[in-house]
Amino acid sequence: MDRLLSLLFLLLFILHLPRRSHQQHISSIDRAALLSIKRTLDDIPGSNFFSTWDFTAPDPCATFSGLTCSPDPYSSALRVTALQLGTGLSDSLGLLGSLSPHLSNLTELTQLVLFPGIVTGPIPPELGLLKNLRVISLTNNRLTGPIPQSLASLPNLHTLDVSYNQLTGSIPAELTELPQMKVLILASNQLTGELPSGWTQLLHLDLKMNGFAGRIPSNLPSTLRYLSLSKNRMWGPLNGLEKLSELVLLDISMNSFNGTIPSSLFRPSLNSMLLQRNKLSGAIPPGPADESYGPGSVIDLSHNFLTGELPATLVGVENLFLNNNHLIGKVPEEYVKRVFSGTTKTLYLQHNYITEFPMEEGLNLPDSVSLCLSYNCMVPPVGLSACPASAGGQLSRPAFQCAVFNNGTTMA
């Protein structure tokens, strides 16, 4: 028993030995790769990320900032497994230069992060050789050119964030089908084309502020919790969103989507729904009667062509934007109560055809509430409207417009 124990201890000791030993150095391939990476990148004057990158020092893994190393299972050398270029501190200016293709010599790399700076040039297609890569984050720089097709062959890629660059071209075929991909953030580039038709089990898809065209793919993954397609050139009906039952945030604002809003989207678990500035029409469907929206909820349906009356089910929404539509009728009393109790923080109803906002005399609007009622088919209660400048100065809509809209008919 004793012998067994001491053998075990010896084994543990041996297993721990390389990690502790000062004999262990970075592999010569990784050292050469770091030297190449350093050659094409530099600190923006005032930033000092590279001040620790002294290649005369014996052990880069211990002294270079931004490196994480692990022992190579096949040799006694240390390999770079994570590389963070730049400090990511908010007061740091970041790096300039370009990304070296020699990054691909860091074959054990699982994470590559480039913090915000002004790095230019392409994303090296050679990154597609790093089969262990799980995370690539290169946001807020000035990278140009396409997203390399080679990235679509990284079997372990979990997160790709190349947002806020100047990338062009379309989404590479099969990138959205990678088996491990969960987070894909391509926001704010100059990407074009239609969205792919093959999708893996993504949790987070952010394509906002690009030039994507076409319809919403019918087979977006039902695992999605966050979906933003805001500010693109997409159009067509909202089909395909109904079955995304895990969504917490949906932002498809500022496109040209048309048709009606599926009633299944009105559920309190979908806490932020931004559909503003599209061409949506029809009535706002009643949501589920048994659940209600709560603190933190935002629904923005403004600047569409929605008709009918306000449904009772949106009553608990904390920030509700229904302005610039074709809504008619009387505002349900429950909305009015919530506004004066301060549980509704924003209620924008301006630029509709609403005929009544039923309230008792002498109530004061809490300071925290934004209520705007101007340019409807009524005279808004004196002193209550807290409108944005964009609402314009006119309190009421011209009477002849109101006659058409509140006469049992609505404009087609």
Ligand X SMILES: *[C@@H]1O[C@H](CO)[C@@H](O)[C@H](O)[C@H]1NC(C)=O
The residues of the shown chain that bind ligand X, judged by CB under 6 A, are 29, 32, 101-102, 104-105, 126, 235, 258-259, 403, 407
CB–CB of 312/287 below 8 Å? no
Given the DSSP bridges, would you call strands 67-71 and 78-85 parallel, antiparallel or unpaired? antiparallel
Nearer to ligand X, 102 or 351 (CB): 102
In the complex, the smallest distance separating the C-beta of residue 284 from ligand X, rounded to whole angstroms, is 16
Nearer to ligand X, 126 or 246 (CB): 126
Q: How far is CA 212 from each of CA 187, 258, 373, rounded to the nearest angstrom?
A: 11, 16, 35
370 Cβ neighbours under 8 A, 6+ residues apart: 345, 346, 347, 348, 386, 388
In the complex, the smallest distance separating the C-beta of residue 27 from ligand X, rounded to whole angstroms, is 9
CB–CB of 257/234 below 8 Å? yes
CB–CB of 253/278 below 8 Å? yes
Nearer to ligand X, 46 or 400 (CB): 400
Phi, psi of 209 (to 5 degrees): 55, 60
Distance in angstroms (rounded) separating the CA atoms of residues 130 and 252 = 34
Q: What is the DSSP letter of 228?
A: E
C-beta atoms surrounding 250 within 10 Å: 23
Nearer to ligand X, 32 or 57 (CB): 32
Nearer to ligand X, 77 or 181 (CB): 77
Phi, psi of 201 (to 5 degrees): -80, 65
In the complex, the smallest distance separating the C-beta of residue 102 from ligand X, rounded to whole angstroms, is 5
In the complex, the smallest distance separating the C-beta of residue 50 from ligand X, rounded to whole angstroms, is 20
CB–CB of 142/119 below 8 Å? yes
- Three-state DSSP state, 140: coil
21 Cβ neighbours under 8 A, 6+ residues apart: none
In the complex, the smallest distance separating the C-beta of residue 256 from ligand X, rounded to whole angstroms, is 7
Nearer to ligand X, 16 or 39 (CB): 39
- Three-state DSSP state, 30: helix
Instruction: Give me the residue label for tokens 């890569």.
Output: 133
In the complex, the smallest distance separating the C-beta of residue 101 from ligand X, rounded to whole angstroms, is 5
In the complex, the smallest distance separating the C-beta of residue 381 from ligand X, rounded to whole angstroms, is 23
Nearer to ligand X, 111 or 255 (CB): 255
In the complex, the smallest distance separating the C-beta of residue 81 from ligand X, rounded to whole angstroms, is 17
- Three-state DSSP state, 28: helix
In the complex, the smallest distance separating the C-beta of residue 371 from ligand X, rounded to whole angstroms, is 27
Nearer to ligand X, 105 or 297 (CB): 105
Nearer to ligand X, 28 or 56 (CB): 28
CB–CB of 20/26 below 8 Å? no
In the complex, the smallest distance separating the C-beta of residue 28 from ligand X, rounded to whole angstroms, is 7
* Residues 35, 36, 42, 43, Cα dihedral to 10°: -40
CB–CB of 342/370 below 8 Å? no
Nearer to ligand X, 50 or 235 (CB): 235
Provide the CA 247 distance to its chain's centre, in angstroms: 12
